[in-house]
Chain A
Amino acid sequence: MMRVNLVLLLAVLASALYLVNVQYESRRLFTEIDRAGLEARRLESEREQLELEKRQQATVQRVEKLAKERLDMRAATPAITDYVSYQPYSGTVPAGAAVQPQVSGGRLQ
């Protein structure tokens, strides 16, 4: 009887110590997850900040100023624009056209 009790006592002790250990481990992991969460949030706000900076560097105002002053460019007008109209392929090949479709400039010939 006495021996059984002793074994049980040891088991209880071991279990208690293990519980302490598990509790400690769970708290440590939780702290870690919490820190990671904070870090994610920080990165998120940093991304927002960077995106804003990117946008500020690319406003029309700035782009136009740089294009005009540094690159010496000017705005396009219809007079200096060559308009190219695009006709989708209709599916009917005109008579006489060979197997290969003809592209202007004859690049595919």
Chain B
Amino acid sequence: MSSRSIQYTSSPLLASRTPVWRSKFVVALVAAGFAVLAGRAAYIQVLSNAFFQKQGEVRFARTLEMPATRGRILDRNGQILATSVLAPSIWAIPEDVDREPKQLQRLARLLDMPLSELKRKLEDEDKTFVWLKRQVDEPVAKQIAALDIKGIYQRKEYKRQYPEGEVTAHLIGFTNVEDHGQEGVELAFNQTLAGKPGSRRVIKDRLGNVVEVVGEQVPPVEGRDVQLSIDSKIQFYAYQRLKQAVRENQAKAGSVVVLDAQTGEMLALANYPSYVPGRRQSFKDAPLRNRALTDSFEPGSTVKPFVAALALEKGIATPSTALQISPNGRLNLGGATISDTHQYAVLTVSEVIQKSSNIGITKLAMQMPAQDLWEMYSQVGFGQRPQLPFPGAVSGRLRPWKTWRPIEHATMSYGYGLSASLVQLAHAYTVFTHDGELIPVTLQKAQGPVTGVRLIQARHAREVRHMLQLATGPGGTAPKAQTMGYSVGGKTGTARKQEGRGYSEKKYRGVFVGMAPIEQPRIIVAVMIDDPEGGKFYGGDVAAPVFSETVQQTLHLLGVQPDIEVKPQIIARVEAQEAPL
């Protein structure tokens, strides 16, 4: 077999001449390719860079919210009544959660929920966000963070705390989970209390550190504090006494209001039954409304002093003017009968107030035109909305005098046919304590002296105060209102509750409004006990003891020296020891 060698170098294929255009064509093609690339690069980098810049920014720029805290609510001495504390909310991305049984068990325990419930919450894997628990306490949140479970996150939130709890519940109110005021002062002063969160746009590095601020910052506006006129100590004692009285008398509810008689500042305002503002489960058992402001009732005999004051002012009577009272305890007036609990033949004006005679006050009222009576009532604030920025404060009812029938003219004088809230009643009494001037009631700490509206002469205000003192003395309707060391004065009221179209035979409301000390009143205390079922129902029996104890505590706390003699029970007096210098 002969070897056949192939000479590649002299291949005939090589002999064919390549046309020049082919190499040129390849060069052109490659050049065109580069040109397209360069063009694209220029397009991206120069002409249409906005999209990519935005994409880049999305990856490292963040808008951070700068949270603002809600202002605090303070009492007159600067004690905290409500404040916001950090309470992180726990949330999860179900898909990402690492389901290690032991860890989940621990998490469930920290969240204070059964494991099954936690699992149910994490069940739906399609969801990208689920709240596990809103507003847990900070230490718990720290422990949860320490568990370091994948897919569990925390969001900074603030929670309202009320150290006084049920004692100030109706007054302070509460906020919702979004930190908006819902009731009470929280709602009334929401504008002031609420802060405005700010924001800033920052650049974050890979580790999550903020490295630069871009654009403009909006600084957060912190909520401002609100200082109330309430004294938390007085508030507590008033609430405690009220609670005790409502329970003892098996009453449905009760309210108490303590006003500073000289400045009109509200020192305490409490209702019972109450609720715990931090615990939402307690809301359904007790009414959330502030009865002392939102419920109006017929004030009964507590309005009699205004009729007496009007009679003094119009010159119709003096405190010692004698009035003929019906000896059988009944008075017929246009077909209706007005009756007293006791029978008197003659009573002076002072005694009419002292013994709370319906007939006596009617006889006095009938000597004056209905218009005068209406003007007096309306000037002291009945039928007017109190100037308190409180949600749901009622105006009560006082019909225009032109619509009064003669019998209504009579019943108005002893407090039937008109209605007012307990705060309105207490406010009206400032006309007596402030020497004839009606002063406005305020929930915020007073700055500077207050100016009132003069309705009656100072002399007459003093005379009425002495009548009120008689009512709490022997032979009066409320000897139980007396308190050790301080002279007091006040008026009882016992009104039948309205039921349907008429008055209930068995349901009453016992009221007592009074002041102390009588010569220079410092405080007004108004107490209302609703529907007492413990056998006693007169204002002098159910409400006056609360008044007495509240006055005692309040004047002691205010540092008022007793104005009547007390038999000292001090056994041993420690004299200042002589110490050699």
Q: Which residues of A contact B (CB under 8 A)?
A: 27, 30-31, 34-35, 45-46, 48-49, 51-52, 55-56, 59-61, 75-80, 82-83, 85, 104-108
Contact = CB atoms under 8 A, between A and B. Distances in A.
Contacts of A85: 561
Given A27-B212, A34-B210, A61-B167, A52 B576 contact: no
A104 B485 contact: no
A77 to B, nearest CB: 6
Interface stretch (B83-91, B114-122, B253-261): B83-91
Interface stretch (B41-49, B231-239, B298-306, B348-356): B231-239
A27 B163 contact: no
A76 B559 CA distance: 12
A31 B210 contact: yes
Contacts of B570: 79-80, 82
A105 B578 CA distance: 6
B552 A60 contact: no
Contacts of A108: 581
Contacts of A31: 205, 209-211
A55 B163 contact: yes
B581 A107 contact: yes
B95 interface: no
Contacts of A27: 205, 211-212
Interface in B163-216: 163-164, 167, 205, 209-213
B579 interface: yes
Closest 6 CB pairs of A and B: A78-B485, A105-B576, A27-B211, A60-B236, A31-B209, A34-B210
A55 B79 contact: yes
Contact of B552 (A34, A45, A51, A77): A77
A47 B237 CA distance: 29
Contact of B80 (A30, A51, A83, A107): A51
B27 to A, nearest CB: 35
26 contacts: A27-B205, A30-B210, A48-B69, A48-B86, A51-B83, A52-B161, A55-B79, A55-B163, A59-B164, A59-B232, A60-B232, A60-B237, A61-B167, A75-B553, A76-B556, A77-B552, A78-B486, A78-B556, A78-B562, A79-B566, A79-B567, A79-B568, A82-B573, A85-B561, A105-B575, A105-B577
A48 B167 CA distance: 21
A78 B484 CA distance: 7
Contact of A52 (B85, B236, B577, B579): B85
B57 interface: no
Contacts of B577: 105
Interface in B232-287: 232-233, 236-237
Contacts of A107: 576, 578-579, 581
A67 B575 CA distance: 26
B573 A83 contact: no
B573 to A, nearest CB: 7
A7 B79 CA distance: 72
A57 B220 CA distance: 32
A104 B213 CA distance: 70
A25 B425 CA distance: 70
Nearest to A35: B209
B121 to A, nearest CB: 28
B566 A45 contact: no
Interface string B542-581: 0000000000110010000110001111100101111101
A79 B576 contact: no
B210 A79 contact: no
Most chain B CB neighbours (cut-off 10 Å) among A46, A59, A60, A107: A60
Contacts of B138: 49
Nearest to A49: B85
Given A60-B233, A79-B567, A30 B85 contact: no
Contacts of B209: 31, 34-35
B278 to A, nearest CB: 11
A2 B237 CA distance: 95
A69 to B, nearest CB: 15
A105 to B, nearest CB: 4
Contacts of A83: 561-562
Given A80-B570, A107-B579, 5 more contacts: A46-B86, A51-B83, A77-B485, A77-B552, A78-B556
B197 to A, nearest CB: 13
Contacts of B484: 77-79
A48 B84 contact: yes
A78 B555 CA distance: 10
Nearest to A27: B211
Nearest to A108: B581
B267 to A, nearest CB: 14
A107 to B, nearest CB: 6
